[in-house]
Structure 1
């Protein structure tokens, strides 16, 4: 029976399977179906495909019908539900000195939230701007999320101000990229620094405030990164910490279902946040890296190779989006939507990147990532030397062969 089908049939079947599979995946993620409901949905899709084949519809007609069905479904399900009121709801936001945190604190305060905003420096420009522009509802707290004592003090201060009221939202925004470069060149202190803030610090904050969130049946909204799901070159330390964070949040999401606490993760595209556009900071980090690398390792890679990576990152950071509104709007949706999503893509290109990662072969998706971030032109010095040696050796062998041919003649 198998040999009766031609190549166009299998191409048609593949396209149909990818189309329906992708549609079902989106519907399941959007609808938050349980495991049993998911199984039923997939079985239904399988029966649908089998029945459509039985009708022997032409490929174009069948795909057109499926496309029309999907468009109708999307138009119905994409209609935004009215957001919940912000008044009377309290939200705790980490990392509000600058970037997403500061912009989110200002926006949520303007909506009517009671905002608790943490900063590293109470006398810094970010803290002063929040005090100057926000309402008296906003409370500033000096918190380094890697310091358990400061986290506990912030919890006590928040409890004292909330009274018997629980906490509606926790926005885990604080994060750091200590340095970036090839994994072998990244110092162990870089790995530990990223993990301390991005994973352990966020873990500590989340665990500490969970009783207040459970009391209010509230929301946890975490700003993560596509680097936690995709192997971006030169982001091994940062990406590893975000991967740990993503897995923890996914686990927590399942565990908190009985408590009525909903967990969302936001995956932004590239934005000018924190130290990303601070040239002096990255120059200092680069100098420290050069001084800390073992001489033999620096010789193998070359100082010019390390410097090129730094320059490429500067170029990437300069071209990043300065408009935070897609991320801020997404955070607001996750906090106030009656049915918040598990994952939000904030910014252009993120959904497309995940589509390529999910449906394309690894070889293609890896090339896409390499072209997307830092486009290296230099090879490590040791490989350049080896390549030059090989070229010299080939040239020498060719000359010897030519001489031998002359002697034979």
Structure 2
């Protein structure tokens, strides 16, 4: 009779693979010591094997596993309940931003900087907000909508002298208490398109702001952060972990930033400084819906491309990419609260997570990226971001094809010879 309840071997191996894979994934991703997650997951694996040895019915075993997952989820929710949050009063936070006309940044735009500064000010933080122009509309908007606790700093994070001056101004105000939080929000995405069609200056531009600029201001403010045993919150992007089509320059800079942040997390742990990464979904911020800007970028690309390369890809191929980008930007979320709320949660949680997903669909995206075959995850990204229908012109038309005549040049020569 017991044989009636025995699981097929492939189900047994599948569940064990989930347990062991989950253990390894959590161990590698955890910023805690290796012992707690390893012991917990090995214990769960042994428990699953023991239950199997008693030949429990499949329904009962699945119910036990489901109950364990529910208890684990409830425990995590209890740790993050609002009553457990740290007080915001008396804590100083610096929020970086870059108020220069620029394109969609998939989670790193001036819109986040403004919304974050306002939200943190409303919570009671002492906010230091960086702007490029103290007399600009963005700075005046913050002054009108925030409390007198807000301090505006004129900073371009790519200019070390301005970063140093901001450090001196902040240090003079915070004194011995130090800086509780640094929110690395500033970033740019200077173009979109295939790697072969992108200028080297586009890659350098993204790296200069997204990586070197963030590194510069983080290194400069680390003494104040160590003094307060504070937090570093960095707004990154899923494009830094996954190969989004036509976003190689932006994604490469975010990939470098992600590795930098992960390394900082381990190095600053002995100092008591917590380091978190926030990965937002698509939000409508800044210049993301500025069609005039992207039309200008598109025309400039057509002018600068070598004629032979433009012929091989085709102008219609480039135009389709631009239009798909417009469509994607127009459908982005206009409510920035998922990101600002997550930033506040990371700043005030007694035990902040190493990574936060902000916005719908990011968790599913990472699940598919982590656990599904590469071919499936790549196809998912292509369908999610830019649903290209046109292939490059050289792949559509045979060599020597003349679109005006509809005949290959070789055929024309043969006809002429006849």
Q: Decide: shared fold, TM above 0.5.
A: yes
Query: Aligned partners of 1:244 and 1:31: how far apart in 2?
Result: 19
Counterpart of 1:42?
A: 41
Match of 1:275 in 2: 287
- 1:137 corresponds in structure 2 to 149
1:191 has 2:203 as partner: yes
Q: How does 1:282-361 map to 2 (within 5 A)?
A: 282-361=294-373
Residues 387 and 272 of structure 1, relative CA distance in 2, 3 Å threshold = farther
The one of 211, 215, 219 aligned to 1:203: 215
SS in 1 for 2:366: helix
Alpha carbons 1:12, 1:59 under 8 Å: kept: no
Question: Whole-Å Cα distance in 1 between the matches of residues 121 and 67 of structure 2?
Answer: 42
Deviation at 1:49, TM superposition (A): 2.8
- The Cα offsets for residues 273-299 of structure 1, whole Å up to 9 and x where unpaired, read as 122111111111112211111211111
Cα distance between partner residues in 2 of 1:255 and 1:153: 26
Equivalent of residue 86 in structure 1, options 85, 88, 91: 88
Q: How many angstroms does 1:243 deviate by?
A: 0.4
Instruction: Check 1:14–1:270 CA distance in 2 against 1; reply closer, same or farther (3 A cut).
Output: farther
Given the alignment, which residue of 149, 154, 157 partners 2:161? 149
Q: Aligned pair in 2 of structure 1 residues 32, 78: CA closer, same or farther (>3 Å)?
A: farther
- Structure 1 residue ranges, 4+ long, deviating more than 3 angstroms after superposition: 18-33
Give yes or no for contact 1:16–1:63 (8 Å, CA) kept in 2: no
The Cα offsets for residues 364-391 of structure 1, whole Å up to 9 and x where unpaired, read as: 11111110000001110111113997x9
- 97-106 vs 243-252, which moves further: 97-106
Give the Cα–Cα distance (whole angstroms) in 1 for the partners of residues 399 and 380 of structure 2. Answer: 26
TM-score, normalised on structure 1? 0.89
Q: Is the 8 A contact 2:27 2:37 kept in 1?
A: yes
RMSD of the TM alignment (CA)?
2.3
State how far apart, in whole Å, the 1-side matches of 2:17 and 2:283 are: 32
CA distance in 1, matches of 2:304, 2:161: 31
Match of 1:402 in 2: none
Unaligned ranges ≥5, structure 1:
1-6, 397-409
- Contact 1:265–1:344 under 8 Å retained in 2: yes
Matches of 1:350 and 1:365 in 2, distance apart?
Answer: 13
Partner of 1:106: 118
Q: In structure 1, the residue corresponding to 2:8 is in which secondary structure?
A: helix
